[in-house]
Amino acid sequence: MKTLVLLCLVSSIFAKHEEYIGWKSYYVAPSTMDQLESLGSMIPSFDLDFLSQATTDREGLVLVKPEHQVHFINALESEGIQYWLHKDDVKAQLDLDDEDMETNSKNTPPKGEMAYDRYQRLEVIYAYLDRIAEQYPNLVKLETPAHSFEGRPIKYLKISSTNFEDESKSIVFIEAAIHAREWITPPVATYAIHKLVENVTNADMIEEFDWIILPVANPDGYAITHNGTRFWRKTRSTDHEEGERCPGVDGNRNFDFLWNTVGVSSDPCANTYPGRKVFSEVETRVIRDILHENLNRMVMYLSMHSYGSMVLYSWGHDGSLSNYAFAQQTTAVNMITAIQVKKLPEFPNYTAGNSKLVVGYAISGSSQDYAHYIGIPLAFTYELPGLGRGLLGFSLSARYISHVVDETWDGIVVGARRARQLYGPNPFKY
């Protein structure tokens, strides 16, 4: 009987990831800004899928479909961009990663509990939110403002010792997993909840701040990444041209700031498709509404992504700096300095800076730029670290999850304190 169960497990693992047959992954290492910009221009031409962004001093990791591989390599060689093969068979590596996760991870935690020894499915995360709200009613309020395109609830927590009624407190908003495949981001969000509610070691975080935490902004996409389509990034909506064949919209290109101008693709099948109109997705409308409903006291917005070990800020469309650039840079440096204290030697150092200048290509319609545009002084994108066996970053070894969430929390604490020091409870008076 045990043998039969094992065989069923193995067969189910290897039946997944069929859509990645023939895909390869490459490291690319541009050495100049011109090469970096040329690499960015190749994204729509070859439907490239960057798992980690390249910079002039750090290689990037990119997935390439079979039909584009020869032309992509020719383009790299024409531009003189260094590259080397990472994985010759992406599907085979994903199968091995799944087997490794099933073999080495512990059982799912008891209902309502959270563990950081594996990546948790949506139902485990939601059970944790439900339990926290029920157990701590004087501190936590569970909100379910909408349901996703496929009907899943979109849940977030409001955490406050004063029921969000104290106008002297600043608000911090943390959002994760708008890009579904970035599995390390929900643990960072749920760990922040743990440190604010269950294991408070920084009392000022509760005394001086109210918090809004959305652990899974894209529940439909997140669910499908756990069911075989590991690199799914977008939402799952179909109410656009070619929607049935190519569902979904890039949630981080769907916001109303220079929407559909740069860093996007008009092809609905592309990962950077921005949607048929601004805020076409219920998932992005939820984030928009949270921002506007709390704008008068919100001093910091953190959009969690992976991977790359970066803290990025506006503007992403052209690399220009806002009037808050000095505050953004100093706060970002303070956050990464706190993270570096605990950083493991095998992890890369964090980089802080303007998103266009750091990653080398422009984007439009991002949540970070929209949040800053409407008045939140400190709006950051975290690109969390990636390290591990197999397809690095997205298969971050389970033994690193607890470390990443802990070091990131230290950065969040420092960032929140800096935000309050700069802007107090009311950013609009500055």
Q: Which residues are known catalytic residues? A: 383
User: CA 38, CA 20: separation in Å to the nearest integer?
Assistant: 26
Q: How many Å from the N-terminal Cα to the C-terminal Cα in the chain? A: 68
**Coil, strand, or helix at residue 336?**
helix
Tokens of 275: 């949607």
Write down how long the chain is. Answer: 430
Residue type, 316: G
User: The sheet that has 60-64: what strands, in order across it?
Assistant: 49-52, 60-64, 24-29, 82-87
In degrees to the nearest 10, what's the CA dihedral of 407, 408, 409, 414?
100
β-sheet bridge partners, residue 25? 63, 87
Q: How far, in Å, CA of 8 to CA of 429, rounded?
A: 62
CB 194 within 8 A of CB 157: no
User: DSSP secondary-structure letter at 121?
Assistant: P
From CA 349, how far away is CA 274, in angstroms rounded?
31
| Integer angstrom CA distances of residue 296 from 9, 169, 171, 300 | 52, 11, 9, 12
Q: Which of 33, 23, 28 is nearest to 83 (CA)?
A: 28
Strands 170-176 and 153-159: unpaired
Q: Among 311, 307, 257, 265, which residue's Cα sits nearest to residue 284?
A: 257
Work out whether strand 298-306 and strand 170-176 pair parallel, antiparallel, or are unpaired. parallel
DSSP H helical segments within 136-166, as ranges?
none
Q: Backbone phi, then psi, for 343, in 5-degree steps? A: -60, 135
Task: Note the Cα 210 to chain centre separation in Å.
Answer: 22
